[in-house]
Amino acid sequence: MSMYRGYLADSGAIGLAGSAVPVLYFAPTATNDANIVKVKVMCPGAASAAPASNADIFASIYKVTGTVGNQGTITPAQVSGNALAANTLVCNASSSAGLSGLSTSGNALWVGDIPETSGASWADDDTNTGKEIALLPSTKYALFCGAVVGAGTNMDVRAAVWFAE
């Protein structure tokens, strides 16, 4: 028997921008909480992709304020536990421009990056075992992605987040 109900939320492809753009939004209801247990950020390239030069492609999770815009509500894929729909509202962007209307609040709850400097190495995902990111009831969160210095052309960013309720 599973210890919790696990879900996977996928942002889909979002155009890589030079500044941080929210790509996934999480809003637990007043009667539930959740925990992010794993984050994976990928940068699939289109034809003739040009990675950001000598910069990092970064991701971060923050509490947010504002009203989410340009969103499409997604149904997270259940990956474990009893067959129940997630209580947490999850939105991805309805276009490759990312979500809008959100501002960060406080310090980052998680950060990760993919270095694009020649010869750099990176871990392809982060497992938060023992340091899960608590998503509190009635609180809004977003995963932001961007490039520190000028985004490359034909580059997308895509994020997958596993969370538990």
Which pLDDT score is estimated for 82?
83
Q: Residues 68, 91: contact at Cβ < 8 Å?
A: yes
Q: Which position has the higher pLDDT, 158 or 137?
A: 137
Please report which confidence band the pLDDT of residue 46 belongs to, taking 50, 70 and 90 as the band edges.
Answer: low
- State the pLDDT confidence band at 83, using cuts at 50, 70 and 90: confident
Residue 52: what pLDDT?
A: 66
pLDDT surpassing 80 at residue 148: no
pLDDT value of residue 1: 43
Which has more pLDDT, 86 or 52?
86
Instruction: Write down the pTM of the prediction.
Output: 0.88
Q: Name residues whose C-beta falls within 8 Å of residue 156's C-beta, 6 or more positions apart in sequence.
A: 13, 14, 15, 16, 43, 44, 45, 46, 96
Q: Parse the chain into domains and list their residue ranges.
A: 6-164
